């Protein structure tokens, strides 16, 4: 008999862990693309949806509304029924509703469908980190989660690249309000990551940590033996551990889960909760909230900035969109400025490499991670600013 942590370490690190990393990484990538990818979609969908700049903001916020509101409920369901059983059906439905939202023809249909899509991807926002951590041995858990976060930065690279390929195309199929145009195809392309993640989750087992706390030792050992066989290229029967120390089985109830939240607003956790919430709010406010509008801001700045020398970015945007409820009598479709895509791509490259440097620093040391960041800056950012 041995402890769960010791039994987990004996499974090793190999093919199974790479599959878990890429599956959960694609989940996080898909969640980010669904939240932020509308920045490229709405920049060319104004005429088809007949939306004002204010309504564009509402549609962009709709996904985030869906993510935030049911987050506590999804966390409880993940603890009650399992990480995989919660995320897999929710992600499948998220892909379906995302495809439905791509067929929207007006503001309200897009707004409501994006709220439903956000509600479904909310199941995976935090649970994917938990699932990835619990599918990794304790000694490699922190680095694995950091590498999983790097996939989020990869979305900042995938979004402009997909948009760069699809949005400049000029095609239109169908009649009436529902025409298949590039921005709809771009939304279909964004679901590739969700479909890939669903395939990975269908292969992966349930979290062994969750099974240990809710089902007991035998089912946990079966999963650990499977991980061992994948990583060590041996049969599950060769797994040397036959029994592990099993804590009392616990099936959480919703009232109990809510009651435990009181510990978050009392010392000693209160200080940590306040600091972590402030840091997370500042990070996401600076990254996600700004990035939703980055394609539009860069596009307008490149188109109108040279004609208004000396004016600030805020003044240019105010002159263009001073009235957020303005609806033009005749909407003229426009193409995004081509230089918008490489600028957004460079932002994605820098962001992705910063995440990679964090994961690299956890294992190799922060001095080497700092050197890596400087190298990335010299290779990508500085030459582009000269251009």
Confidence (pLDDT) at 160: 87
For residues 247-285, one letter each, b for 16 or more C-beta atoms within 10 angstroms of the residue's C-beta and e for the rest, the string is eeeeeeeeeeeeeeeeeeeeeeeeeeeeeeeeeeeeeee
pLDDT tens-place string over residues 72-103: 899 889 988 999 999 999 999 999 999 999 99
pLDDT tens-place string over residues 133-171: 999 988 888 888 878 887 887 888 888 889 889 988 888
| 190-211 mean pLDDT | 94
Length of the chain: 387
Confidence (pLDDT) at 326: 52
Structural domain includes residue 262: no
Structural domain includes residue 137: yes
Q: Which residue has the higher pLDDT, 331 or 204?
A: 204
Structural domain includes residue 327: yes
Structural domain includes residue 77: yes
Confidence (pLDDT) at 358: 66
Q: How far is CA 215 from CA 24, 66, 82, 225, in A?
A: 23, 32, 11, 16
pLDDT tens-place string over residues 208-238: 999 998 888 889 999 999 999 999 989 999 9
Confidence (pLDDT) at 227: 94
At residue 299, what are phi and psi to the nearest 5 degrees? Answer: -60, -50
Q: What is the mean pLDDT of the chain?
A: 83
Structural domain includes residue 302: yes
- For the chain, what percent of residues have pLDDT higher than 90? 36
Of the ranges 4-13, 298-307, 333-342, the best mean pLDDT one:
4-13
pLDDT tens-place string over residues 244-283: 888 877 777 777 777 888 888 888 899 998 998 888 888 7
Confidence (pLDDT) at 329: 44
- For the chain, what percent of residues have pLDDT higher than 70? 83
Q: How confident is the model at residue 384 (pLDDT cuts 50, 70, 90)?
A: very low
Q: How confident is the model at residue 386 (pLDDT cuts 50, 70, 90)?
A: very low
User: Under the phi-then-psi rule, with left for phi > 0, alpha for psi from -120 to 50, and beta for the rest, what region is 172?
Assistant: beta
Structural domain includes residue 118: yes
Residue that has been written with the tokens 């680095």 in this structure = 143
Range of weakest confidence among 2-6, 221-225, 298-302, 327-331: 327-331
Quote the number of domains for the chain: 1
CATH at residue 85: 1.20.1250.20
Q: How confident is the model at residue 311 (pLDDT cuts 50, 70, 90)?
A: low
Burial class (CB in 10 A: 0-12, 13-18, 19+), 324: exposed
For residues 173-203, one letter each, b for 16 or more C-beta atoms within 10 angstroms of the residue's C-beta and e for the rest, the string is eeeeeeeebbbbbbbebbbbbbebbbebbee
pLDDT tens-place string over residues 42-71: 888 887 888 888 888 899 899 999 998 998
> Which has the closest alpha carbon to 336: 155, 187, 183, 178?
183
pLDDT tens-place string over residues 331-378: 555 567 777 888 888 877 777 777 667 666 666 665 666 666 666 666
Structure tokens at 92: 């499948």
Residue 153, domain extent:
25-204+293-386
Structural domain includes residue 164: yes
Which distant-in-sequence residues (6+ apart) come within 8 Å of 368 by Cβ?
A: 360, 361
| 285-304 mean pLDDT | 76
Structural domain includes residue 146: yes
Confidence (pLDDT) at 121: 95
Is 90 exceeded by the pLDDT of residue 128? yes
């Amino acid at each position: 008999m041995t402890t769960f942590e010791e039994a987990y370490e004996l499974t090793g690190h190999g093919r199974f862990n790479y599959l878990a990393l890429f599956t959960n990484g694609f989940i996080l990538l898909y969640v980010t693309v669904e939240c932020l990818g509308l920045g490229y979609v709405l920049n060319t969908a104004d005429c088809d949806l007949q939306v004002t700049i204010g309504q564009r903001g509402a549609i962009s916020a709709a996904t985030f509304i869906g993510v935030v509101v049911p987050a506590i409920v999804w966390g409880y369901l993940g603890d009650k029924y399992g990480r995989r059983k919660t995320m897999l059906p929710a992600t499948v439905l998220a892909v379906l509703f995302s495809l439905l939202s791509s067929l929207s023809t007006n503001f309200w249909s897009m707004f409501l469908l994006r709220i439903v899509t956000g509600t479904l991807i909310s199941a995976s926002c935090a649970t994917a980190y938990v699932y990835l951590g619990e599918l990794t041995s304790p000694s490699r858990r922190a680095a694995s989660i950091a590498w999983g976060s790097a996939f989020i930065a990869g979305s900042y690279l995938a979004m402009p690249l997909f948009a760069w390929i699809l949005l400049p195309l000029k095609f239109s199929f169908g009649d009436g309000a529902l025409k298949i145009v590039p921005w709809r195809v771009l939304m279909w392309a964004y679901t590739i990551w969700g479909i890939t993640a669903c395939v990975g989750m269908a292969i992966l087992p349930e979290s062994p940590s969750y099974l240990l706390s809710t089902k007991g030792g035998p089912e946990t050992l079966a999963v650990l033996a499977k991980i061992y066989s994948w990583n060590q290229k041996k049969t599950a029967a060769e797994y040397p551990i036959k029994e592990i120390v099993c804590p009392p089985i616990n099936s959480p109830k919703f009232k109990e889960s809510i009651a435990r939240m009181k510990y978050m607003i009392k010392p000693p956790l209160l200080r940590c909760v306040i600091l972590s919430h402030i840091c997370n709010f500042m990070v996401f406010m600076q990254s996600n909230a700004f990035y939703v509008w980055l394609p539009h801001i860069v596009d307008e700045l490149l188109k109108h900035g040279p004609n208004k020398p000396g004016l600030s970015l805020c003044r240019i945007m105010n002159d263009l969109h001073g009235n957020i409820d303005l609806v033009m009598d005749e909407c003229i479709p426009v193409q995004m400025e081509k230089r918008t895509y490489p600028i957004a791509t460079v932002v994605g490259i820098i962001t992705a490499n910063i995440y990679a440097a964090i994961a690299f620093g956890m294992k190799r040391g922060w001095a080497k991670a700092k050197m890596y960041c400087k190298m990335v800056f010299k290779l990508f950012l500085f030459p582009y600013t000269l251009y």
